[in-house]
Structure 1
Amino acid sequence: MSGQDAFHRVTVVGLGLIGGSLGLALRRCGEVDEVVGVDASAAVGERALQRGLVDRVEGDPATGAQGADVVVVAVPVGSFGAVLEAIAPGLGEDTLVTDVGSVKGRVAAEAEARLQGRGRFLGGHPLAGTEDSGVEAALEDLFQGALCILTPTEETPAPALERLSALWRLVGSEVVTMGPEEHDHVLAATSHLPHMLAFSLIRTFGGLDEPERLGRFAAGGFRDLTRIAGSDPVMWRDIALANAGPLLEMIDRFEARLDDLRRAIAAGDGDALEAFFREARALRRGLPPRVHADEEQDDQQ
């Protein structure tokens, strides 16, 4: 990559799992002159430098954003607006601002309100992560083979979309696009609802008598279903509130299916149960192969 397509400076605000992994991958790809890190915690920033996740760290968000081609905001959804206000004084007219969050409608609205014409915002969401969080969890290959959803609007300039797509391809991601509203409905079904179910299942288990003793008998299926309940509670609080409409719709749909199952069990209706399970198995077998690890997004998101 050279000339006008080259990336001179990329600033990453928030150096946890997603932000730290992105910084590390961009440094290792050799196509970005400088990766600048910004984090609210001085200790996190120092550790990011020690691990080689960024080239330098700035304590002031606006200073960190100065001169950047792209600013990636990798903080929880609930903190996004405040971070936008903090970086805004350092943005150039053509600075591309993006995020990595799991909710897009609210984020796009906040960007329009808070940036007030400074920089150009284009939402992004890499479908990659682990249940671990923080600067120590950052991985160089986290985005290799992962989907990254970009959410342009009618106002998004084509060059901005092309440039941000190029950035994510540098770290090994496959880029797809969809509108912010479509994104939020898709993710409510494929990510947000499953996390709510995992949290609820482990809470149900915790309410039983002697959960510690029963835990000895929690086999692979239970552990697989509840693995993502180990995700960051603050992040998922913010996601649930920010995407409440689509998420509540999916919870209602799930409750309806659970009611179907309960009625069949209560009625002793074996035929209905078998039909329910057969349909579910067919749907599960029809899913496309998993591209990457389950999306978790630590710091965002």
Structure 2
Amino acid sequence: MLAEMIQFPNLSPEIFSVSLFGTDFALRWYALAYIVGIVIAWGLAVRAVKTPALWPAGQAPMSPKQVEDLITWIILGVILGGRLGYALFYQPGIYLQNPAQILRIWEGGMAFHGGLLGVVIAAWAYARAQGINRLAMADLVASTVAPGLLLGRLANFVNAELWGRATDLPWGVAFPGRAAQDCGQALGEICARHPSQLYEAAMEGLILGALILWLVYRRAAFHAPGRVLGTFLAGYGIARFLVEFVRQPDAQFVTEGNPLGLAWQIGGYGLTQGQALSLPMIALGLWFLLRARPTAAKVPA
């Protein structure tokens, strides 16, 4: 048994619950993370469009009212894209046989990469309908995402889900539950795992978010269209790719002959599903960064 590890704190996924008409309704930390993340993103976007100096020629691509409308579209994109992405990327066999289960979002199961695609489609459609510069709007949206990622990963930790691989490091966490404790250890010993949710919270939320805000407010990043978007895509992709080395893959990818859960492999070497989905993000982010150039327009004095 390990002499050093962190016991998982006594945390409940539910903040509170009430019973009405024979049905239990609960507010969960994960739902609250979505709500607060969206509110923070809204506030950051409104502040940005109200600060003319951040934009070429002192002209923001959207009005505060358009930001408010866009948030509604993005919420739909996150929910529909995240759910469909989870069904297609991680559980295709189950959901293709039972398509109606895709609609049961209250049972859990959301994929970030699917949610990202949903946001891209929703934002593109809104920009086209409103005649908004799509790249400038993409930069604006990308500058607001990191706080929500931070809160979402913290909620994953509270839910004791998406934990990492077994570890003997002193900060390994003994997560509750049969699945988390099934590490192949000797009978009676406790299994400690990487708190990969906290790694992602730090890398995708704190570090990437701080970098993007610094670029926006100190390096005039909006004046080079695509720079903020490219930074977010490449930064998230790199962070997720690295964390996947210590994150426990989804159970359907783990077999006796594939204990690392590699979804794509050749000769024993390969990538997890999360790494495979992150590579296009990294490539696309680098492409936007290489193409980003400061505009010739001057901000009026």
Q: TM-score normalized by structure 1?
A: 0.26
Q: Judging by fraction of residues, say which structure has more strand.
A: 1
Q: TM-score normalized by structure 2?
A: 0.26
